[in-house]
Amino acid sequence: MITLEEYVKNWRIFIDTCSLLNEAASQFWYSITPLLQRYNAKIIVPYRCIEVINTKSLQNKNIELRNRAVGVLKIIQVLIQANIIDIRGEKNDKFANNLFLDVFTKYRMKYRLLLITQDINLARTILSLNDDQSRRKFPVQVNRIQHDGSLVEFKWGKSDKNEPYKNQDTDEPKFKLCTRVTRSQDTQLSVQHIPEEGEEVYVNGQLVKLVKAVGFGGEGTIYSTNSEYVAKIYKKKNNTKRKLEKLKLMANIKCECPGVCYPVAPVQNLNHEFVGFLMPEAKGKKIGEVIFTPEIGKVFPNWTRKHLVQLSITILKKIQMLHKKNIILGDINPANILVVSSKEVYFVDTDSYQIEDYPCPVGQEIFVAPEIQGKYFPDFLRTIGNENFAMATLLFMLVHRGQSPYSKKGEGSYVDKIKEMDFAYPLGERTNNKIPDGPWKKLWSHLPQNVKEAFYNTFRYGGCYSTESSRLSVEQWLDVFNNYFFLLNSGKLRQQDPMCEDLFLDK
Amino acid sequence: MSANDLIRTQDLVNNPVPRIPVCLCLDTSASMMGPPIDELNQGVQLFFNSIREDTVASYMAEIGIVTFGVNVACIADFASLKIQPNAPLLQAAGMTPMGEAINLALDLLEARKKEYKDKGVEYYQPWLVLMTDGVPNGDPLQLARAENRLVDLVNEKKLTIFPIGIGSAADMATLEALSPRRKPLKLQGLKFKDFFVWLSQSVSQTSQSRPGDIVPLNSNGITSWCEI
């Protein structure tokens, strides 16, 4: 495998439109920029690609694509100024695909060439140049950007060269998507004995010892064990039939997402009665305690908004992994996410996740979408649209260090405010006197325009992302936040707005 | 605006955590003199300390104190523990003008709620802790007004009241009339500390939820201080 550094040092690198538009492109630029600067190298972008992105940024059919294109154009501006990319070619060039083929055919005698694209057909075409293995020519390479921003070679199965490349992400086992709640009743199972500290339990037929109680919650107690995992032992009333069935289902489909404390196996007492489950141990402190209170200034004294944006991305990526498995978290809230650093978080209380037809039985009202306000959680299945509201609320709170999107001056409960969707924060010239006193108005005003637009259109009645079906998905939010992070990290935003990183605009 | 007001305002608006105003309306009449007032003082200080131990609760709770004895007075107005870290010392003397005290407590709660709304601060409906060891002997009209106000607020779910009787002379019938939904409870001996630890646990439990969520009152541990 060729490292990124080797590519930068010894290869000519080209990038295609679809990779520029890829959701992880910001992360790719973030990792390759220092190398390009070190070796004084540039990535070549055909003029034609810029033109295509420009067209996409002006159309109105697909708002999401338009916003992404606008963001990408901004990044391209920064990259040009930083001497990191080189735009080659002219207006009346052929389609980029033909252009790449021409260029690669011609110059592979002279240079080692790498194309970055997400397009499998283009990859196949370019790689077929390698069939001509004359000595005078270098082999060409084609890579794509992965979801974490790193590059990977296109690969086909060895047995059949024509086997199309499969995205690994989609190959993983997934849960079914359901629309009706299970008929399985939430009845309490009979349990003669709830195991305690120092006692033994069964996990998949093996004895495991509950070493020490390390946490106490409303539903039960967490114990360290003599295995690599911790055990959550429920109180008697929480050992229900539904819970057991759901945990068995969860344990059957693994979720190896680091930081998600996902059930590994059900736990039984010595009478072989269900009493809880085993899971990886969490670290850190609740977001609700150290990020959403003024405590943030003490616990993370050096944090700026960049850290909050990075923390948001870290959280979004975990949600993305779960959504890819068709898991709906349901009860997204600041007590269920623990933070160690902006790059290290832990998701806890995963046994409440909505899995197939087993609902998430709990929720905090401020994260509950207007269309399902007041509904009884154990009786229905949440949709991805419902979930996207909770996720957007969390993101708003993350970049406003705890202020919630619908808090505003005047009468009415928070639930009423959610239902009214009278979002107080303005876009453009609109003024509104309902924003809470304090630093919140300023914190909002220092967000980049496209971030404001995303929130505004989500929370404002009539906004283009304001309904169950139109709310931004985790991928779309990742786009928005990756762009935001890139602008902060490159120093570009600071040039325009020296206060863009301040968290305490209260002086 | 005075420097003090400025600090209070900053404290109010820079903290995004929803507030829960807790008003302690305490009988400091002459009959509380001696061990009762000492135990009560220690209990209230313990309440402050216990809240402080829970990070979220400490940013959420705003404790105000109204006493009734020689006069009716607000000896601590609603503020966070950051700017009001210690409980003021209570002294026992005088009569039991309970109606006047309740009216003052409700006025202060109303004023604080108005501040929350004017500034856009989320809040939970307030809690009122009413403690007495005797029979109210202030203006009966004031007491009647207090009763009407309390009953209305509780029925509209705009207030949670904790009426607590101390000792054998406490007028439990009046306390009952003031509390339409919750029976008054009698403190076991002088177990003020147990009561206030329980109360701070109840605040912590509330901090696990958000305004609007239905918070089940902490029925665990109630027997540690309550006479049955």
pLDDT tens-digit profile of A317-330?
999 999 999 999 99
Query: Which residues of chain A does B206 touch, with a Cβ-Cβ cutoff of 8 Å?
Result: none
Q: Which range scores top for mean pLDDT: A133-147, A252-266, B210-224?
A: A252-266
Minimum distance, in Å, between the CA of residue B178 and any CA atom of chain A: 26
Nearest alpha carbon to residue B164 among B179, B154, B149 = B179
For A133, residues 6+ apart whose C-beta sits below 8 A from its C-beta are A139
Could you give the number of structural domains in chain B?
1
Nearest chain B residue (CA) to A367: B210
pLDDT, chain A, mean: 89
Beta strands A274-279 and A265-268 are: antiparallel
Q: What percent of chain B has pLDDT over 70?
A: 93
- A365 in contact with B at a CB cutoff of 8 Å? yes
CA angle B11, B17, B23 (to 5 degrees): 70
The beta strand positions in chain B, using DSSP E, are 20-27, 61-68, 72-76, 127-132, 160-165, 185-187, 226-227
**B114: in domain:** yes
Tokens of A374: 């007041």
Structural domain of B109:
23-210+218-227
- A403 in contact with B at a CB cutoff of 8 Å? yes
- The DSSP annotation for A121-172 comes to HHHHHHHGGGGS--TTSPPPEEEEE-TTS-EEE----SS-TTSPP--HHHHS
Q: Is the Cβ pair B119, A434 closer than 8 Å?
A: no
Q: Compute, in degrees rounded to 10, the torsion defined by CA atoms A167, A171, A175, A179.
A: 50
Minimum distance, in Å, between the CA of residue A179 and any CA atom of chain B: 26
Q: Compute, in degrees rounded to 10, the torsion defined by CA atoms A474, A476, A480, A486.
A: 80
- How much is the pLDDT for B113? 96
Q: Which CATH superfamily is domain A4-167 in?
A: 5'-nuclease (3.40.50.1010)
Instruction: Report the distance separating Cα B228 and Cα B225, nearest Å.
Output: 10
**B11: in domain:** no
Q: Mutate which of B210, B217, B219, B220 to disrupt the A interface (most A C-beta within 10 Å)?
A: B210
Nearest chain A residue (CA) to B213: A365
**Tens digit of pLDDT for each residue in B69-106?**
999 999 999 999 989 999 999 999 999 999 999 999 99
Nearest alpha carbon to residue A218 among A194, A191, A200, A237 = A237
Nearest chain B residue (CA) to A439: B14
Tokens of B93: 């003397």
For chain A, which residues make up each domain, given as ranges?
4-167, 200-279, 285-496
The reply to whether A4-167 and A285-496 are identical in fold is: no
**B13: in domain:** no
Is the confidence at residue B110, as pLDDT, over 90?
A: yes
Instruction: Report the distance separating Cα B91 and Cα A321, nearest Å.
Output: 61
Q: Is the Cβ pair B213, A404 closer than 8 Å?
A: no
- How much is the pLDDT for A434? 93
Any bridge partners for residue A151, and if so which?
A145
Is the confidence at residue A291, as pLDDT, over 80?
A: yes
Instruction: Report the distance separating Cα B221 and Cα A416, nearest Å.
Output: 34
Q: Which band of pLDDT confidence, cut at 50, 70 and 90, is reported for residue B208?
A: low
Q: Is the Cβ pair B120, A414 closer than 8 Å?
A: no
Tokens of A430: 């609109």
- A288 in contact with B at a CB cutoff of 8 Å? yes
- How much is the pLDDT for B147? 97
3-class DSSP state for residue B7? Answer: helix
**B167: in domain:** yes
Decide if A329 contacts A367 (C-beta within 8 A): no
Instruction: Report the distance separating Cα A73 and Cα B10, nearest Å.
Output: 41
More confident of the two residues A330 and A57: A330
Tokens of A144: 């794509």
Interaxial angle between packed helices A474-489 and A63-81, expressed in degrees from 0 to 180 and rounded to the nearest 10: 20
Q: Is the Cβ pair B208, A440 closer than 8 Å?
A: no
Q: Is the Cβ pair A402, B117 closer than 8 Å?
A: no
Instruction: Report the distance separating Cα A206 and Cα A120, nearest Å.
Output: 47
pLDDT, mean of residues B212-216:
52
Fold classification of A285-496 (topology level): Transferase(Phosphotransferase); domain 1 (1.10.510)
Q: Mutate which of B201, B208, B215 to disrupt the A interface (most A C-beta within 10 Å)?
A: B208
Nearest chain A residue (CA) to B16: A403
**Cβ within 8 Å of B, A 210-239:** 218
Edge-to-edge order in the sheet of strand A344-347: A285-286, A337-341, A344-347
Q: Please state whether the predicted TM-score (pTM) of the whole model is above 0.80.
A: no
- A506 in contact with B at a CB cutoff of 8 Å? yes
- How much is the pLDDT for A168? 45
User: Distances from the Cα of A324 to the Cαs of A242, A313, A320, in angstroms?
Assistant: 24, 16, 6
User: Distances from the Cα of A97 to the Cαs of A110, A116, A164, A408, in angstroms?
Assistant: 21, 12, 19, 52
Other beta carbons less than 10 A from residue A129's beta carbon = 17
The amino acid occupying position B21 is P
**B54: in domain:** yes
Decide if A477 contacts A391 (C-beta within 8 A): yes
Minimum distance, in Å, between the CA of residue B29 and any CA atom of chain A: 38
- How much is the pLDDT for A109? 85
CATH number of A200-279: 3.30.200.20
Q: Which residues of B touch A (CB under 8 A)?
A: 9-10, 12-17, 55-56, 59, 117-122, 208-213
Report the complex ipTM: 0.91
- How much is the pLDDT for A218? 75
Nearest alpha carbon to residue A197 among A225, A166, A169, A228 = A225
- Comparing CB atoms, the residue among B56, B117, B211 nearest residue A289 is B56
More confident of the two residues A428 and A202: A202
- How much is the pLDDT for B216? 56
Query: Which residues of chain B does A373 touch, with a Cβ-Cβ cutoff of 8 Å?
Result: none
Instruction: Report the distance separating Cα A94 and Cα A83, nearest Å.
Output: 25
A155: exposed, middle or buried (C-beta count within 10 Å: 0-12, 13-18, 19+)? Answer: exposed
Minimum distance, in Å, between the CA of residue A94 and any CA atom of chain B: 55
Nearest chain A residue (CA) to B216: A218
- How much is the pLDDT for A159? 39
Q: Is the Cβ pair A414, B15 closer than 8 Å?
A: no
- How much is the pLDDT for A317? 95
Instruction: Report the distance separating Cα A428 and Cα B150, nearest Å.
Output: 46
Query: Which residues of chain A does B213 touch, with a Cβ-Cβ cutoff of 8 Å?
Result: 364-365
- How much is the pLDDT for A1? 78
Instruction: Report the distance separating Cα B17 and Cα A184, nearest Å.
Output: 39
- Comparing CB atoms, the residue among B59, B208, B213 nearest residue A365 is B213
Query: Which residues of chain B does A404 touch, with a Cβ-Cβ cutoff of 8 Å?
Result: 16, 122
Nearest alpha carbon to residue A415 among A469, A371, A480, A464 = A371
Give the CATH number of the domain where residue B91 resides: 3.40.50.410
Is the confidence at residue A57, as pLDDT, over 80?
A: yes
